[in-house]
Amino acid sequence: MAGPDAAEPGEEGADRRDTGFGTRRARIRRALRIATRPGPWKRGSVLAALALLPGLLMLLHAKIPNRIGGVGSLVETFLPWFGLFIPVMLAGALWRRSASAAVALLLSATVWLNLFGGLLIDKSQPGGDLTVVSHNVGAETPDPVGTARDLAASRADLLALEEITPQAEPLYEKELAKAYPYHAVQGTVGLWSKLPLSDTEPVDVMMGETRALRTTVSTDHGPLAVYAAHLGSVRVMPRGGYWTASRDRGAQALGTAVAAEQNERVVLLGDLNGTVDDRAFDRITAQLDSAQEEAGDGFGFSWPAKFPVARIDRILVRGVEPESSWVLPATGSDHLPVAAAISW
């Protein structure tokens, strides 16, 4: 006699039929999901657009308008750092298995390598007829004497110092006198030299005070025109955005002075408060080559000293050949000194 829980006749078969039907239905749903799932080229379209954005910004940076908050110059100042987005987005593309995002990243990476890949290669060569150093010593440096000693230890033939205060000037003169018998100071910039100087004069960079000079250095290979400059600062303003007006005016004036230079051999040393990627320096870079780009090893960032993110301290040349370019150890300034060896 069957118990109370005994299955009715045919109930077990019904359960098997229901289970089989449920299994088939689950398989159909799974197949439909697979069939309707986006393929690797359609997957991650938003990620692909984001991956393409750094490449477009780097490729078309000169087209970004400066009229609204100086956005163009701001992007150009930190242009190399856009490469950091590439490995981050690569991780996202691999996670999403998105072929379109991977191709977009490949395009961005190609643009970055075309612009900055050369800086990853050590292009320095041994030798050089003249070693030059430029350093914004900082108006508030706590130890001008120590800074002067550090710079003299570089054994450079020419030292260009920017942001010299009236109080610190005699300290630099005294400490550098033995190694550098010749020097010239105009306003807040100065040049100390192991070789004779002549025809020193201020250069107007539209700042209302003297922040640039031009002099002639007598070398065994003939006269060398040397400019030392400290252009206006830039500011990030809450309402005005990236403010560069005084610096841009100075860059135009300095470019005009270099264009009028009669000497075919020219060296420009200074704190330009901007990178050579910035359109503000087009008039200067059209006439002078960057020692860092031509003969450097790495990006050579010089500011701020504790965590450098941009090379705003520059050595630019014409008529001479940069053999090597490097960054010197920190002093008491918020800038790092930059150096280059040049030859005829």
Which is nearest to 303 in space by CA: 328, 271, 335?
335
Query: Is 171 part of a structural domain of the chain?
Result: yes
Same-domain check for residues 81 and 225: no
How far apart, in whole angstroms, are the C-alpha atoms of residue 327 and residue 138?
Answer: 17
Number of domains forming the structure of the chain: 2
* 135, 109: one domain: no
Domain shared by 68 and 186, yes or no = no
Q: CA-CA distances (angstroms) from residue 298 to 58, 222, 274, 301, 302?
A: 19, 32, 18, 9, 12
Is 123 a residue whose pLDDT tops 70? yes
Taking residue 262's Cβ as centre, other Cβ atoms within 10 Å add up to: 6
**Is 13 within a domain?**
no
Between CA 220 and CA 166 the distance in angstroms is: 33
> Which among 88, 120, 152 is the end of a domain?
120
Specify the amino acid at residue 120.
L
pLDDT at 75: 94
- End-of-domain residue from the set 97, 120, 143: 120
Q: What is the pLDDT of residues 87-116, one digit of tens each?
A: 988 888 888 788 888 888 999 999 999 999
Structure confidence by residue, pLDDT tens digits, 195-214: 999 999 999 999 999 999 99
Would the pLDDT of 41 be above 60?
no
Whole-model pTM? 0.85
Domain with 73, as residue range(s), is: 45-120
Position 16 in a domain = no
- Neighbour-count burial for 74-91, b at 16+ CB within 10 Å, e otherwise: bbbbebbebbebbeebbe
Task: State which of 120, 143, 174 marks the end of a domain.
Answer: 120
- Asked if the bond preceding 54 is cis, omega within 30° of 0, the reply is no
* pLDDT of 302 over the 60 cut: yes
- The answer to whether the beta carbons of residues 268 and 229 sit under 8 Å apart is yes
- Chain-wide mean pLDDT for the chain? 90
CATH at residue 147:
3.60.10.10
Same domain, 236 and 187: yes
Confidence (pLDDT) at 15: 53
pLDDT for 37 equals: 52
The tally of CA atoms less than 13 A away on the side-chain side of residue 322 is: 27
Asked if residue 204 and residue 108 are part of one domain, the reply reads no
* 19-37 per-residue burial string, b: 16 or more CB within 10 A, e: under 16: eeeeeeeeeeeeeeeeeee
Q: Is 180 within a domain? A: yes
Q: What is the pLDDT of residue 21?
A: 61
